[in-house]
Amino acid sequence: MVPATRTALSRWEISIDGEVIGWVQEQKIGRSSVMFFKATGVHPETGREVNLENSTDRDERVRTIVDFHEHPEKYGRHVW
């Protein structure tokens, strides 16, 4: 993973075989001292960006994006 931009909060582009399938971005929530990671996936059929929620585990968010890319039906139509 390589940061996609150079900002105060990092953003990583997630790709498979050169195809961008989503992003993970650091996110501060309120006054919390804990860093959260927001996952955004690209729906493999529609190309639409889909919010896949936040977590404090960056690697878990990457796995979620890959899983969404491979099995979007598991996430239900309501997310896309």
pLDDT in tens, 22-75: 999 999 888 888 999 999 999 999 999 999 989 999 999 999 999 999 999 998
Output the CA angle 37-51-72, nearest 5 degrees. 115
Band (pLDDT 50/70/90 cuts) for residue 19 is very high
Q: Are 50 and 80 in contact (CB under 8 A)?
A: yes
Domain extent at residue 21 = 3-79
Q: What is the tally of structural domains in the chain?
A: 1
pLDDT of residue 9: 82
Residue 28: other Cβ atoms inside 10 A: 12
Tell me the one-letter amino acid at 40: T
Q: Are 29 and 42 in contact (CB under 8 A)?
A: no
Residue 1 CB partners (closer than 8 Å, separation 6+):
12, 13, 14, 24, 62
Residues in the chain, overall count:
80
pLDDT of residue 31: 86
Band (pLDDT 50/70/90 cuts) for residue 3 is low
